[in-house]
């Protein structure tokens, strides 16, 4: 199935799920059972062949047919079992329990009892921004079910206690609960089949029993469960609203989106920029994050962030609905949510929050050490090249463009716009220079930059064109030109289609 056919199928299934939700749910469940039936057929066939082979050998002797049946049964069973074994790596984080984080474990158990959910096998505190419940069977498709909850310390600093409870309840909705929950079963099956599809590339010829079936089965299964899981996100939000209240649930969504944007575009770039000056990881990002969140909060900036987040369209690659869709489903309005006065980290970790931050800072420095070293060495080489070009002015447009890029990156006090303009003097059609000038000018509020962004937006470099559309749309939105901004957004979406 090609990309166009897949997207047409997804669009059709979205309409079907909206018009006949119960029928769609049953069809999705039947499709899951079809896949499980094929796996069961393979294993049963292997078992029958290996069971009948000894009888055949006793009746007919050591003939070619009997020995071939035994070998075929062994190969069929072994290749299927090996392929279905999906190795599981433990989350990268610090293990928490009743002894080192009693309040956190009580908060989790309170939500678990409220939703009548299953007990967890392990809880991990991580450096990531988010909360996730990971399910896996001990031997891939077989064995005892294990459930791991990962909680990112940055997220705990960004949410209040009530908002954190809403996020936990949302995640618990993806697990089987008392009274049965077929949605959680289908959600888990999607994870297993996705892992299996990825594993087929690792096992080589051993995947011969599943590869032909999966070639035809996976695109339809993926499309059905994609739509199903997106609808399940609304169910999860409803459960969160029942447990923590609709306002806490909506505010948790808003806070997560706003703070994620701040971390991605502001906080972490500043932390990682030091790698260009220091040979080894420095800083204590997780210890300083609470202060950074409060000190950097600006309602006007967050209002602009929120406007951009609400304008995001539905993605064909993300099972999560857009922020706007989720707020509408909750019947709650959008608003700027400031960092909490008392964060969830303070409530569920208490005075130990400082110790956890120190542990995660140490883990972060260990994990990033290799990247940091390479970045420092690359910066040294780039700055040496920049010094050489200071003595011998670069000639061709390509060299001039690289000189401008390095100047912008390593000499923040210099104005790189004239350097990019020099590139255009030699090559008026240089897309990178047009994009850079447009980006820099609109950042200063100059409308002249829009001309350069428009030129780059209609170029043949997909990545540059998409980025130029995003910058142009944000600039026009900030000036209240919503119609013109929407044209650039639509072009950006068309480039990704």
% of the chain beyond a pLDDT of 90: 37
Query: Out of 189-203, 392-406, 416-430, which region has the weakest mean confidence (pLDDT)?
Result: 189-203
Averaged pLDDT of the chain: 86
The model's confidence at residue 489, banded by pLDDT at 50, 70 and 90, is: confident
Q: Within 10 A of 433 (CB to CB), how many other CB atoms are there?
A: 28
Look at residue 238 in the predicted model and tell me its pLDDT: 92
Structure confidence by residue, pLDDT tens digits, 3-33: 778 778 888 888 888 888 888 888 998 998 9
DSSP percent split of the chain into helix, strand, coil, nearest 5: 75, 5, 20
CA dist 202 → 81, 83, 95, 137, 195 (Å)? 14, 9, 30, 19, 11
User: What is the reported pLDDT for 179?
Assistant: 47
Averaged pLDDT for residues 83-89: 73
Calculate mean pLDDT across residues 393-418: 86
Q: Is residue 104's pLDDT more than 90?
A: yes
Q: Determine the 3-state secondary structure of 146 from DSSP.
A: strand
Which residue in 114, 395, 431 sits closest to 242, CA to CA?
114
Range 133-158 average pLDDT:
84
Assess whether pLDDT exceeds 90 at residue 474: no
Q: Give yes or no for a contact between 339 and 294, defined as CB atoms under 8 angstroms apart.
A: yes
Q: What fold does the segment set 393-497 form as a domain?
A: 1.25.40
Distance CA 135, CA 229 (A): 16
Tokens of 339: 């960092």
Q: Is the pLDDT of residue 108 over 90?
A: yes
Residue-wise over 263-272: b if at least 16 C-beta within 10 A, else e? beeebeeebb
Q: Which of 60-69, 71-80, 330-339 has the lowest mean pLDDT?
A: 60-69
In angstroms, how far is the first alpha carbon of the chain from the final one? 16
Query: What is the spatial distance between Cα 82 and Cα 482, in angstroms, rounded to a whole number?
Result: 55
Domain ranges of the chain: 393-497
Tokens of 160: 């209040």
Whole-number Å distance between alpha carbons of 29 and 26: 5
Provide the pLDDT confidence category of residue 66 given band limits of 50, 70 and 90. low
The pLDDT > 70 percentage for the chain reads 92
Give pLDDT, residue 90: 79
Residue 62's pLDDT band, with cuts at 50, 70 and 90, is low
Residue 206 confidence (pLDDT) above 70: no
Q: What is the pLDDT of residue 355?
A: 92
Work out the angle between the directed axes of helices 431-443 and 397-410 (0-180°, nearest 10).
Answer: 30
What does the pLDDT look like over 34-51, one tens digit per residue? 988 988 888 887 777 777
Least confident of 99-103, 350-354, 461-465, 474-478: 474-478
Q: Higher model confidence: residue 320 or residue 430?
A: 430
Gyration radius of the chain's alpha carbons: 28
Query: Tens digit of pLDDT for each residue in 343-379?
Result: 999 999 988 999 999 999 999 999 999 999 999 999 9
Region 293-302: mean pLDDT is 89
> Which residue from 164, 327, 158, 166 is spatially nearest to 259, judged by alpha carbons?
158
**pLDDT (tens digit, 9 = 90+) per residue, 156-193?**
999 999 999 999 999 988 887 654 556 777 877 888 88
């Amino acid at each position: 199935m090609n990309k166009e056919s897949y997207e047409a199928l997804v669009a059709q299934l979205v309409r079907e799920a909206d018009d006949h939700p119960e029928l769609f749910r049953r069809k999705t469940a039947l499709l899951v059972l079809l896949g499980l039936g094929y796996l069961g057929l393979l294993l049963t066939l292997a078992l029958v062949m290996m069971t009948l082979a000894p009888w055949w050998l006793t009746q007919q002797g050591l003939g070619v047919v009997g020995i071939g049946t035994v070998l075929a049964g062994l190969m069929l069973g072994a290749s299927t079992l090996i392929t279905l074994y999906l190795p599981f790596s433990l989350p990268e984080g610090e293990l928490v329990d009743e002894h080192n984080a009693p309040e956190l474990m009580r908060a989790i158990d309170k939500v678990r009892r409220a939703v009548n959910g299953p007990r967890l096998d392990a809880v991990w505190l991580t450096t990531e921004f988010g909360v996730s419940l990971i399910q896996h069977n001990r031997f891939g498709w077989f064995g005892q079910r294990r459930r791991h909850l990962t909680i990112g310390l940055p997220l705990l600093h960004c949410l209040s206690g009530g908002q954190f409870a809403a996020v936990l309840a949302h995640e618990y909705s993806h697990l089987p609960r008392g009274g049965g929950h077929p949605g959680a079963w289908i959600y888990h099956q999607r994870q297993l089949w996705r892992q299996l599809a990825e594993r087929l590339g690792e096992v080589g010829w051993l995947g011969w029993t599943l590869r032909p079936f999966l070639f035809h089965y996976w695109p339809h299964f993926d499309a059905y469960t994609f739509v199903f899981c997106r609808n399940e996100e609304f169910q999860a939000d409803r459960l969160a609203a029942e447990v923590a209240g609709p306002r806490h649930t909506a505010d948790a969504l808003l806070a997560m989106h706003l703070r994620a944007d701040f971390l991605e575009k502001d906080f972490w770039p500043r932390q990682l920029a030091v790698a260009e000056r220091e040979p080894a990881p420095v800083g204590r990002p997780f210890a300083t994050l609470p202060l950074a969140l409060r000190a950097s909060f600006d309602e006007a900036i967050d209002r602009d962030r929120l406007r951009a987040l609400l304008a995001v369209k539905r993605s064909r690659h993300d099972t999560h609905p857009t922020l706007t869709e989720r707020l509408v489903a909750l019947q709650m309005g959008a608003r700027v949510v400031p960092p909490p006065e008392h964060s969830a980290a303070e409530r569920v970790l208490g005075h130990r929050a400082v110790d956890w931050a120190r542990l995660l800072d140490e883990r972060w420095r260990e994990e990033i050490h290799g990247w940091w070293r390479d970045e420092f060495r690359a910066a040294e080489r780039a700055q040496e090249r920049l010094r050489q070009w200071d003595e011998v002015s670069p000639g061709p447009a390509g060299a001039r463009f690289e000189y401008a890029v390095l100047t912008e990156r390593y000499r923040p006090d210099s104005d790189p716009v004239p350097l990019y303009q020099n590139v255009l003097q030699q090559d008026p059609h240089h897309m990178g220079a047009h994009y850079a000038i447009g980006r820099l000018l609109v950042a200063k509020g100059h409308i002249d930059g829009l001309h350069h962004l428009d030129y780059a937006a209609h170029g043949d470099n997909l990545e540059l064109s998409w980025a130029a559309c995003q910058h142009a749309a944000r600039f026009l939105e900030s000036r209240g030109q919503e119609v013109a901004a929407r044209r650039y957004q639509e072009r950006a979406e068309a480039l990704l289609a």
